Amino acid sequence: MLKILKYSFYDLIRSRWSYVYFLFYLTLGFVLLFLNNDVSKAVITLMNVIIVLIPLIGTIFGVMYYYNSREFTELLLAQPIKRSSIFMGQYFGVAGSLTLSLVLGLGIPFVLYGLLRSNAIFDFSLLLVTGAFLTFIFVGLSFVIAISNENKIKGFGYAVLLWLFLAVVYDGLFLMSLIVFEEYPLDTFSLVATMLNPIDLSRILILLKLDISALLGYTGAIFKKFFGTDLGFLVSMAVLFLWTVLPILGLRHKAKRKDF
């Protein structure tokens, strides 16, 4: 598995897209910090970018990589290697290289602009950790979709739909249910609904760490009471971890049964 991981990883590192992705974050980081020299304010702006773009890019990249390397996968399948290690290797290769681009691309400008000396370092590391989680989650989901669909167009369609659902539609449904049931106590409901969507969960996790959380008012206080404690933090990290593990298990399951 490690060999395949290494191969996938180097293959991606050598590919142009990885560089484009890396350069995109590098420029974003530099431009943001150049425009306002305040590290903690830049973290807020970055959050907006991260919770929308990382899932999208993770999804598209995952699907693309799977379909593109199909011939190579078939070649590997002919060798005496365990199936799960082939797919796991590819998965970790893609997710790992995307995460590396993210961490380096954002990390370099922030470190140069004195992140280590500012007290935003914790917020920033939380941002990177949730970014990494989101990458792993969405690459995993897209691999599952790709392996279940032979038809590339269908696979792409489902993957984009999944992103659209989690990033936009879910919040719409969430909002509708909040308004429809406004007569009822909604605190627990909104907590659970936030937990169930990795994008929402990451957004709330980062928001609560920032000053802006005061805007959340009464509801925010309940959220803070939950997420602010060590237990709440652990639970939300566990949920993100679960979101990462579930697609991986699904991928293994599919890979084992699939007839190539």
Partner 1 sequence: MRTDTQHNAFMLVCILLVLTQTVMAKTWTVCTSCEHSSIKGTIERAEAHDTLLVQKGTYREYEILVDKPLYIKGIGYPIVDGEKKGEIFQVRSDHVTLDGLFIINVGVSYTKDNAAIRVIQSKDFLIQNMVLEQLFFGIYLEKSSHGKVYHNRIIGEAVDEYNSGNGIQLWYSSDIEVRKNHVQGTRDGIYLEFSDQITITGNTSMDNLRYGLHFMFSNHDVYTHNTFENNGAGVAVMFSKFITMKNNTFRKNWGTAAYGMLLKEINDAEISNNTFEENTIGINIEGSNRIDYTDNDFIGNGWAIRVIGACYTNTFKGNNFLYNSFDISYNSKLNDNIFESNYWSSYTGYDLDRNGIGDVPYRPVKLFSYVVNRTPETIVLLRSLFMDIIDFSERVSPVFTPDNLQDAQPLMKIRP
Residue 174 interacts with partner 1 (CB under 8 A): yes or no: yes
Size of the site for partner 1 (CB under 8 A): 33
Cβ 94 to partner 1, closest distance in Å? Answer: 24
> Which CA distances in Å does 17 have to 7, 213, 252?
16, 36, 26
Cβ 9 to partner 1, closest distance in Å? Answer: 30
Give yes or no for a contact between 255 and 86, defined as CB atoms under 8 angstroms apart: yes
Q: Select from 13, 121, 178, 246 the one that contacts partner 1 (CB under 8 A).
A: 178
Cα 194 from Cα 21, distance rounded (Å) = 28
The two three-digit tokens of residue 107, written as one number: 């990390």
State which residue, 97 or 236, has the beta carbon closest to partner 1.
236
Residue 182 interacts with partner 1 (CB under 8 A): yes or no: yes
Gap between the terminal Cα atoms of the chain: 19
Q: Which stretch binds partner 1 (CB under 8 A): 7-15, 63-71, 119-127, 214-222?
A: 214-222
State which residue, 225 or 256, has the beta carbon closest to partner 1.
225
Provide the phi-psi class of 36: left if phi over 0, else alpha when psi is between -120 and 50, else beta. beta
Residue 220 interacts with partner 1 (CB under 8 A): yes or no: yes
Q: Select from 34, 172, 229, 258 the one that contacts partner 1 (CB under 8 A).
A: 172
Residue 212 interacts with partner 1 (CB under 8 A): yes or no: yes
DSSP string, 167-210: IIIHHHHHHHHHHHTTTS--HHHHHHHHHH-HHHHHHHHHHHHS
Number of DSSP helices (H) and strands (E) in the chain, helices first:
12, 0
State which residue, 186 or 237, has the beta carbon closest to partner 1.
186
Q: Select from 51, 54, 63, 132 the one that contacts partner 1 (CB under 8 A).
A: 51
Cβ 251 to partner 1, closest distance in Å? Answer: 27
Cα 233 from Cα 214, distance rounded (Å) = 19
Residue 192 interacts with partner 1 (CB under 8 A): yes or no: no
Residue 219 interacts with partner 1 (CB under 8 A): yes or no: yes
Residue 186 interacts with partner 1 (CB under 8 A): yes or no: yes
Give yes or no for a contact between 42 and 33, defined as CB atoms under 8 angstroms apart: yes
Q: Which stretch binds partner 1 (CB under 8 A): 21-29, 72-80, 100-108, 177-185?
A: 177-185
DSSP string, 119-178: TTHHHHHHHHHHHHHHHHHHHHHHHHHHHH-S-HHHHHHHHHHHHHIIIIIHHHHHHHHH
Q: Select from 82, 125, 154, 211 the one that contacts partner 1 (CB under 8 A).
A: 211
Contact footprint for partner 1 (CB under 8 A) = 47-48, 51-52, 167-169, 171-172, 174-175, 178-179, 182, 186-187, 190, 194, 200, 203-204, 207, 211-212, 214-221, 223
